[in-house]
Structures are given as C-alpha cells and as structure tokens.
A and B are shown apart, each in its own frame.
Chain A
Amino acid sequence: MLENGKISTRQFTLMLFSLLLSTIMFGLPRILIEQSRQDVWQVMLITFVIDAALAIIYFILGMRYPRQTMIQYSETILGPWLGKISGLLFVLFFGYMTLIVLKTVSKFIDTVLLTGTPELAINFILLLITLYAVNAGLEVVARLSEIIAPLMIIALLIILTFSVNRVELGNLRPVFQHNVWELLKLSLLPISLYGVCITMGVFIPYHNNPKESLKAKWIAIGSGTILSIMTLMSLITIFGTSYSSQQVYPVFRLAQIIKVGDFFERIETVVIIFQIAGAFVSMVILYYSSVLGLAQIFKIQRYQTLTPYFGVIMLILSVFVFSNITEINQFTETIFPFLAIFIEVFLIIMLLIVSLIRHGIKKT
C-alpha cells in the first residue's frame, strides 16, 4: 500500500467540508448571484440534492471494491489500458483543480493583501508548504483540515453575524423568477464545482469505517450548502444583487464593511487569512489526491517521489495559465462545467455500469 494511514469519520467529513467550502467561497458567489439573482438558494438546494445522489454512486463503487481508490478500481473495472486512461482523467481533474485553486488564491492575495509581491513568489511559498503537508501523509492532511475547518466556520460566522445590522430584507424580492428547467441549467456550474468532493473516491479506502462515508459526505456537503446559502443570502440582503454581481470578491467586501461600535472594524484581513488557510487545505487535499493517483497508475512504490515534480509542474503552469481573474472566471463559467460533469458524472456512471456487467450485481 502506498498509504498506510487511516482517517476517522470526523476527519473524512471535515476534509470534504473544507475542500467544498473553500472552493465555492472565492469566485463562485459573484457568478451565482449574477446568474440566478434572488433564486440562488433554490439553485444551491438543487445542487445539494444532485450531488448527494451522485455520492451514492461513489459510495457503491467504494463498497464494491474495498481498499481500492477510484483510480485503482477503474483499472480493476476497465482493464489495464482503458482503466489507466480513466484513472488519468481523474488525476488530471484533481491536478486541474489544484491549479485553479492555486491561481485563485494567489490572484486574490495579489489583488488584496500583498499588492507588490510577484505572484510567482506567492505561488512558490504556497506550493512549498503544500508539498510539505502532502509528503507527511494522509493522516496529517486529515488533521490539518480538522484544525482549519472550525476556523473557517468561525471566520464565516463572524462575517455573517456582525454584518447583520446592514441587512435589508427588501432585497430578497422578487423571488421565483425561474422555472425548474432554468434552475437546473443554472445549477450546472455549482454542481461542477461541488464535484471536487469526488475526492471521496480517493479517501473511502482509508476511512476506518467505510460504511459511514456516505453519511459523512452528506453531512459535509449539507453543512457546506447551508453555510454557502447563508453567505449568498447575506450578500443579497446587504448588497443587493446588482452590487454583488459587480464585485469580484463579494465575501471580502462583506468583511470590509463590518463595523460594530467604533472599535470592531477592518477585520477583513483576519477573515481573509482564514479563507486563505481554507484554500490551502483544499490545495493540499487535491495535490495529495493527484500524486497518490499518479503513483497508483504507474505503480510507483512511494508517492512522495512524485510530489516535487508535480509541484514544479504546477509552478511552471501557474505562470502560463490564467493571467488574470477574468480568465479564471470565464473558464469556470463556460468550459469547466462540461469538463467537470463529464468526469464526475458520466465517467463514474460508466464505471458503475461496466462494473455491474463484469462483476455482477451481488459483488460486495
């Protein structure tokens, strides 16, 4: 085994939770509010239901092939060649997500916090600590998310609580302006981003009680959805839809306007640091999934041999892809949903069907 660590149910939940929350907290709120306006909570609920249903497929496959990650069982199901290609698709997806999260965070730091620092320096330091955490193994990754997930929740709750005095409920109207078909179309983008949680397929074999993993995932995405709906609703009630969809980082703006009394203000930096820490956790998880998958595809003894190379590739790519935030956003809005949904929905359904045909229904 490449990885001998075991994670508990709580760690499993918090890993998926922090991964999800930090992925959808940066650029997504603006795009979501711009597209679905006051109906955004319906879109998020639909997303939750669909993603919870998808989780069942990952869970079934994880149960049918115990002690195998999604990369390994795609080889068991499809045979060595097709299986390697399908495994590589998963790895590429994780790699791509690592890159997107890295670029989003470094762009954000570059715009908001360290305006004079070259982006390469930020990327380098971020990748260096990520590499260190990944090399330390799964249990460290899990404990890291156990520490940072509560901090993220606290930070978010601080923003939401102390901005309550600016809420204007009138901004919530008009509601129900989209029919079901439109809502489904609008939820395509959040579903594709919720797709980062397919990393559950990588972690199920290391879960000390795999039967619990479906429930754990539901709790993770459920609480993630609740928190993101709360955030989106505060953005709409406080800023209104037009102002929110004007802001590149609406959650940062929300933290900026917090002012309680004459002393509790300008806390945006504290909040932003927690947000960056969350993004760091999701980078670690995605980075780990990528290198572990690669090592499993190419049958390498220690995945740690691959981490530096992967880091260097990420660093080099980070210079060439997405020179600014608008490119990231455009990519996320137009191409990414199809790419992601191909991998996280079609690929896995195909795997399930082939598995049912080849190994029978009753395989445990």
Chain B
Amino acid sequence: MQKGKRVIYLFLILGISWLITGCWDRKELEGRAIVTLIALDKGENNDIKFSVRVVRTSDSQESGTGGSSGSERASVIMSSTGDTVFDAIRNLVLKSGRKLYYPHNTAIIFGNEIAREGILPILDVFNRDAEMHPLTWVLVTPGEAADILEAQPTLESLSAKQLDMMLNDFGATSKTVATNLLDTMKQLAYDSPGVVLSNIELDPNNPRKALLLNGAAVFQRDKLIGRLDPLETRGYLWSQGKVESGVITFPCPGEENKKVSMEIKRANRKIESDISDGQLKFTITINVESRLAEQACLTDLGNPEKLMELKKSQCEVIEKEIRSIVDKAQEKYSTDILGFGTELSRKFPQEWQNIKENWAEEFPKAEVDIVVNSKIFDIGLIKQPL
C-alpha cells in the first residue's frame, strides 16, 4: 500500500513537469513583433490596406547605438491588403514571418477615404479579438493613414510613445480630443449617434515628418462628414464638460490691439432639456474657474473692477466658442454630436420613443441656450506689468 502510493506520487510529480512546459499557444519573445501603431486605408481594389509600425525586438539594442538613424531602425513599417481587416492582418504574416503582437498597440489611425465609408465595420475586429485593447486611441487623418506611420519622433524614441503622450496631455490646450476605442464605441452606442475623433496630421512646418494634433473630425454615426478647427473643438469639449485646462485669449480691456491670456483651471458643464411647450429647448450651463496668466497690455488689471471686465469678456469668448460648434452641428452637419439626444432620452424616456424616429430632423430645430458663469480666482505673482 505504502509503496503503491509512493509510485503514484512519483508519477504525479513527474506529471507536473509534463504540464508546466507550456501551452499550445506559447510565444517566445524572439518570435514576437510588437505592433505600436496601426493605420487603415482604402486599398486600390476596394479592399483594405492595413499598415503597422512594428518594434524590432531582437536587434533594437544594437540599432539603438546607430546614431541618428537609431529610431528609424528600431521600428519598421509594413503593410498588406485584404478583403477584411482580419484578412489583411493575417496576410501581413506572409511578409513578416513573425506573427504580430497587438496588445501593446497605441493607436488606430484611419485614412480619410475609409473613414468616409464608415469605421464601424473596421472597428469590429478590434472589439472582438481578445488581443486588442479597449484603451487604444482612435484617430483620423485627412490624407493617407499610412503616411502618418512614417512620422519621426522628436523627443521620444518611438513615435507611438510620443503620440500617446500628446493625447494624454490634450487637456493642456483642450484644442483637440483624445478618444480611445472604448469611448468611440460608447459614443456610437448612445442615443446621440455622433462621434468626434482626434485629427492627426504631419506638421507642415517641420521638414522631418513630425506629428501634429490638429482639431477633430466629426462623424455622423460612423461616417466621417467633416472637421473642426482647434477652437471649435474646444467648443465641443466645453459642451461635453471635458475641458481640463487651456488658454483663452482676448483683447485687453482698454487696449484693443494687445491681448490677455486666461488659463482655465477648472470647468464643468450641465445640460438641461425641456420639451414642455412642444419646442425642444436645451440649456448648456458652464461653470469655469480661471486665472490671469499673461497680459500684453500695460493697463493695471490687478483690481476687482478690471477683473470683472475680464470675466465678462471671458464669458463672451467661451460662449462664442460653444455657439460656433452648436451652429455647426445644427446647420452644417445636422448631426447631434453634443449628446442632446442622450440627455433627452434620459430625462424624457417616454417622449424620446417618439422623437427618436426623426431626431435627425428635430435636432437642427432645437433651441439652444448657453449660460457661462466664470470666476477669476488668481492673478499670479505680479499685480501689474510695471
């Protein structure tokens, strides 16, 4: 008995080694190619062009010492085509040999053409596959997305890392949006089916291709219909309550040709809807706290009366920013990108069932009020310029 037990234990212990050797789907680091950026374009024969920027794991060390071209050689661009995105992803293996590894992908960039035809069919695989991460950034470019991959990093060693940092810090200016895959899908799932994604370009002023976030792109449901300039984008962010910080400039009281800069410190917004008298009415209320960051004029602004004037002009500027995006959404795009439909469906769920059907016609007719309350709480270290 005792002996029999020992034999069984021996086999069990040996059996462990049989189990811990690994799984069917083990991958060695040398066999991996880590994808950092994905670009999707429309191919020539109505198929999908799929390009990736891949980090070379095995020899990134030695190429890192190769002087200025180090960053170029640390990562390479590859592309393939296919009938569907997944087909193209797999076709890439025909060229790379290594199966690409996607969990560390930073961003998915859409070319203009493919975005106009709709991004939902393309995004499906990124939502479905367990290897893709929901916090991947989603961006649009006015040209070919593959060109963006060629951008050179300026401060970081990888352009993907730099892009990630640029998007994480979008709040410093609040002149662009940072939308990840999760946010994109959520926006599409809400009752206001308009999506706003960040717009990326190559910096025209930099001969060595550098990245530049420039405003935002507007989608009607999942189809690209237009673009917002940086200030309209901030108007959009105001309406979403997503402004983190940023600089508001306007003429100095008294000296119209000189400007003052106000730094936004805190902001929040509230949307209220009303349908009581048959007319759809929305009120956007913004509360903003800011500080005087800079003045180019020589007037003494360090007294309550002047600050009151600044406050008034600041409210006007913010209201103008929001009004510009509301007008654009209602008149030019006729698309509810501002979340009014979602707000309505939450406050008046029964009535929304009727409005839902022709929301596209109702939305442009809605009356929108904008109320801005602002507060200047700091003037910095000096009272007046001199």
Contacts and interface: CB of A to CB of B under 8 A. Distances in A.
Interface of A: 111-112, 114-118, 121, 125, 170, 173-174, 177, 239-240, 242-243, 246, 253, 256-257, 259, 266
B25 A117 contact: yes
A125 B16 CA distance: 12
Given A115-B130, A253-B134, A257-B134, A240 B190 contact: yes
B347 A242 contact: no
Contacts of A239: 182, 186
Interface of chain B: mostly helix, strand, loop or mixed: helix
Contact of A242 (B127, B130, B190, B349): B190
B179 to A, nearest CB: 14
Contacts of B356: none
A115 B25 contact: yes
27 contacts: A111-B130, A112-B130, A114-B24, A115-B131, A116-B23, A116-B25, A117-B25, A121-B24, A125-B19, A170-B343, A170-B346, A173-B346, A173-B347, A239-B186, A240-B186, A240-B189, A240-B190, A243-B185, A243-B186, A243-B189, A246-B127, A246-B185, A253-B134, A256-B133, A257-B134, A257-B135, A257-B182
B285 interface: no
A162 to B, nearest CB: 13
Given A121-B24, A170-B346, 19 more contacts: A114-B25, A115-B25, A115-B130, A115-B131, A116-B23, A116-B24, A116-B25, A117-B23, A118-B24, A170-B343, A173-B347, A239-B186, A240-B189, A240-B190, A246-B127, A246-B189, A253-B134, A257-B134, A259-B135
Contacts of A125: 19
Contacts of B349: 174, 177
Contacts of B103: 266
B283 interface: no
Contacts of B334: none
Nearest to B189: A242
B249 interface: no
B345 interface: yes
Nearest to A113: B130
A117 B24 contact: yes
Contacts of A117: 23-25
Contacts of A177: 349
A138 B29 CA distance: 44
A315 to B, nearest CB: 17
Contact of A174 (B23, B25, B345): B345
Interface in B78-128: 103, 127
Interface string B164-199: 000000000000000000100110011000000000
Contacts of A259: 135
Nearest to B12: A132
Interface string B128-146: 0011011100000000000
A253 B133 CA distance: 9
Nearest to B352: A174
B133 A114 contact: no
A324 to B, nearest CB: 13
Contacts of B134: 253, 256-257
A173 to B, nearest CB: 4
A232 B289 CA distance: 35
Contacts of B135: 256-257, 259
A111 B182 CA distance: 20
Contacts of B24: 114, 116-118, 121
A260 to B, nearest CB: 12
Interface in B1-52: 19, 23-25
A39 to B, nearest CB: 11
A266 B104 CA distance: 10
Interface string B322-353: 00000000000000000000110111010000
Interface in B350-379: none
A286 to B, nearest CB: 24
Contacts of B189: 240, 242-243, 246
Contacts of B343: 170
A246 B185 CA distance: 10
A173 B133 CA distance: 28
A268 B190 CA distance: 26
B104 to A, nearest CB: 9
Contacts of A253: 134
Nearest to A262: B168
Nearest to A168: B186
A57 B359 CA distance: 53
Contacts of A243: 182, 185-186, 189
Nearest to A171: B346
Contacts of A266: 103, 133
A337 B62 CA distance: 62
In the A-B complex, the 10 residue pairs with the smallest Cβ-Cβ separation, listed nearest first, are A116-B25, A242-B189, A173-B346, A174-B349, A116-B24, A117-B24, A243-B189, A112-B130, A243-B186, A117-B23
A152 to B, nearest CB: 22
A300 B23 CA distance: 39
A110 B63 CA distance: 38
B352 to A, nearest CB: 9
A242 B349 CA distance: 15
A262 to B, nearest CB: 9
B283 to A, nearest CB: 16
A242 B188 CA distance: 9
A121 B343 CA distance: 49
A173 B191 CA distance: 13
A111 B23 CA distance: 14
